[in-house]
Amino acid sequence: MCYGDKPNKDDLLVFCEVKTRENGGDKDVVKLAYDGVLNDNTTRLTNTLYLLQYALLRDGRVDEAKKLGRFSDPYEHPYRKRLIAFIVHEERNWTNGYLQVFAR
């Protein structure tokens, strides 16, 4: 989410770590998603932004690539960041006990 035409400290970049489980239960899926978003966001974020910007330019979407480019240097242009762990899991195998990793 960008505010205005120039980089703004209120701009918001959402980084989402997605884990999917189609078959069977996986008691560690919540912890894996959470750890992934915490541990990998710094290195993967840079690469992801670069690859997304490249894909946009390749597809002729120059304005969108420029807009995404405002997130490339958080030191020169600070912005807000949200890290989200997202789980797609077979409902019939889901148990709220998987969330116990956060109950301490």
Write the pLDDT tens digit of every residue in 23-57.
666 667 777 777 777 776 667 788 888 899 999 99
Domain borders along the chain are 12-102
Q: What is the largest CA-CA distance in the chain?
A: 49
| Segment (H or E) for 17 | strand 12-21
State the average pLDDT over residues 8-29: 77
Helix (H, G, I), strand (E, B) or coil at 32: helix
- The pTM assigned to this predicted structure is 0.66
Q: What is the pLDDT of residue 103?
A: 57
14 has which bridge partners?
A: 82
> pLDDT value at position 104?
53
Alpha-carbon distance 2 to 64, whole Å? 11
Number of Cβ within a 10 Å radius of residue 18 = 12
Residue type, 78: P
Averaged pLDDT of the chain? 80
